[in-house]
A and B are shown apart, each in its own frame.
Chain A
Amino acid sequence: MEILVCARRAPDTSENEIALNSAGNDIERDDLVYSINEPDNYAVEEALQIIARIGGHVTVVTVGGEDDEEILRREMAMGANHGVLITDGAFAGSDGRGIAAILKAFVQKGNYDLILTGVQAEDGAAQVGGMLAAMLDYPFASLVNSIEVLEGGKLKISREIEGGNKELNEIDLPCVLSIQTGINEPRYVGMRGIRAVASVPIPSYSAAGLGLEGSMAGAAAARVRRIDYFVPSLGRGAEILAGSREENIEKLIELLAAKGGLK
């Protein structure tokens, strides 16, 4: 099976305090650690497990700049066969539809049975996979948390729905799936693995190479654009206990006792 995983590089903001820049149009990125967007990593792992069972190849593609090459190498160190960088200054400012249009042009240059994306990136939009599927007229499923390959060009998949329940579906190939975190346990990538792929050439495509016109992606084509970031209003915020740890514990125990939290 030929599998394409659409991935992107993202700052690790899960455990780190991040700040806005002075212009308010972006976060301070200088000190952030970047890696592959976490759900995308689960998608690559899932692709690798599928080809380990039934054979095939995994290609990881990203739309971005030179800095984004590092995630392609990381995923190749995991076992992906190919990494592809799609890069063009004309793509700057693309909205979700623009990114999907770029990926559609790339998909049509290949012959993929299955296209995976992570469920969402740090913008929480969860949009590119579903858009790409609609543009290609492929079936689509979001929030996928298991994949079984069936005979006859079909998959049996489950989707994560409310209450921890799963929705089982059969879906025809080729299709696009957005992968939910927790579907598998992504393998560890060591420095040695990264070094082993450090000099593998990574092909890149530009807008012209994909036959894309300016009206399909980039800032001018974007109908949706972020103007600024701002700090959410703290009107309903918590009372912060700002004493020493000992004082905070004492105060917290008092509060817990009052609220029925102590047995």
Chain B
Amino acid sequence: MARIFVYIVHRNGIAVDSALELAAAARKIDAAASPTAIVAGWGLELDDVCSALEASFSEVWKIANDALVYPNAELIRKALVKVLPSGSIVLVPHEHFGIDLSPGLSIKLNAAYVPDVVAIEGLHGADLKVVRQEFGGQFDAHVRCDISSGAVITIRPGAFKPMESALRSGTVVDKSSDLGAISAGRRYLQTLVAEAGAVDITKENVLVSIGRGIQEKANIGIAEELANALGAAVSCSRPVVDAKWMGKSRQVGSSGKTVKPKVYLACGISGAFQHLVGIKGNPFIVAINKNPRAPIFQVADVGIVDDILEFLPELTNTIREMHRVSAK
């Protein structure tokens, strides 16, 4: 059995939440596996991440290099290619860094690449069977992969239940000396932090969130009127921002804001996972979409199959009517 590595993405000295999800995914490949955590970075932050991981992994490979203060995917790829044994299975979270690193890493390791895996069904010999999603989550697909030369597998954040920490006392193995000099054709300059919008959707209790189903900018008033009637704010999914109909500060999702409302009305939103990961705190989710196959119906509490352009104005009118009656 090939050795399984879990690549740990970390920020500010803390491993991201998905680290133990990857460890759980490793166990699905091989129930007896004791996956090795592999962490790259520099300085005290790296040491902090490594010592915290000792509680969950029996072995933690540390790659320290002053060129890795910021996680540049090209440099980290070069480092991994130097330290990973041939035929390794490497699990990486499917987020912006994993997407940057993993396809090229698979080429340089001559390993198979399986992106954005949501479930692992099992390994028979060198034949790994996994589940992926296509068409924005409308359908799942079984995928088979020949991992005889190793594999790089990205794991969808949130898809696996985190491995319970087994209170191991792991050891940190320093692999830094294997590196030599590394340089990259891409150099990190700085991070531009998003400007705050006039409305902070992360603090709202009720969100009327609109997606592609709103169809054109002129229709956004429909959502605003409902939000007014409800005392809510309007948020949106990626296509609305791409079309420049609303600002980035209103976008819910992995590349937008993480919201924690009590009630979330997903209106004309299909429910791609990049959107769903931005909804936290287990709100009451209402999905209104004319496509009964829209993945949003799988995660919503209540669903209505209807055209939002007709449904929302009628809902708004009914609520206003109620307010008028109760005000009398």
Contacts and interface: CB of A to CB of B under 8 A. Distances in A.
Contacts of B108: 134
A161 B191 contact: yes
A170 B143 contact: no
Contacts of A168: 188-192
B300 interface: yes
A253 B114 CA distance: 44
A144 to B, nearest CB: 10
B134 A123 contact: yes
Nearest to A262: B230
Nearest to A143: B96
Main secondary structure of the interface of B (DSSP, over half): mixed
Contacts of A53: none
Contacts of A181: 238-239, 242
Contacts of A237: 297-298, 300, 303
Residue with the greatest number of chain A CB neighbours at <10 A, chosen from B206, B231, B255, B291: B255
A169 B189 contact: yes
Contacts of B251: 164
B257 interface: yes
Interface string A120-162: 0011111111110111001111110000000000001011111
A140 B107 CA distance: 13
A169 B73 CA distance: 12
A101 B163 CA distance: 37
Interface in B88-134: 95-96, 99-100, 102-108, 112-116, 129, 132-134
Interface residues of A, number: 83
Given A223-B112, A224-B143, A96 B301 contact: no
Contact of A163 (B140, B185, B194, B292): B194
Contact of A131 (B104, B136, B213): B104
Interface in A167-209: 167-172, 175, 180-182, 185
A67 interface: no
A227 to B, nearest CB: 4
Contacts of A140: 73-74, 100, 104, 186
A161 B194 CA distance: 10
A22 interface: no
A1 interface: no
B133 A226 contact: no
A169 to B, nearest CB: 5
Interface in B158-217: 184-194, 205-206, 212-213
A194 to B, nearest CB: 22
B297 A27 contact: no
A231 B139 contact: yes
B293 interface: yes
B51 interface: no
A109 interface: no
Contact of A170 (B187, B191, B256, B306): B187
Given A18-B135, A170-B189, A249-B315, A260 B305 contact: no
Contacts of B302: 238-241, 252, 255
B292 A253 contact: no
Interface of B: 73-74, 77, 95-96, 99-100, 102-108, 112-116, 129, 132-147, 149, 184-194, 205-206, 212-213, 230-232, 238-239, 241-244, 248-249, 251, 254-258, 262-263, 265, 270, 284-287, 291-293, 295, 297-306, 310-311, 314-315, 318-319, 322
A-B complex: 9 closest residue pairs judged by Cβ atoms: A130-B103, A139-B185, A263-B231, A134-B104, A238-B303, A261-B263, A164-B194, A182-B242, A134-B107
Given A128-B103, A162-B254, A260-B262, 14 more contacts: A126-B115, A130-B99, A138-B185, A141-B100, A163-B256, A169-B188, A223-B146, A224-B143, A226-B141, A241-B303, A249-B318, A252-B286, A259-B263, A261-B206
Interface of A: 13-20, 27, 96-97, 100, 122-131, 133-135, 138-143, 156, 158-172, 175, 180-182, 185, 223-232, 234, 236-241, 245-246, 248-250, 252-253, 255-256, 259-263
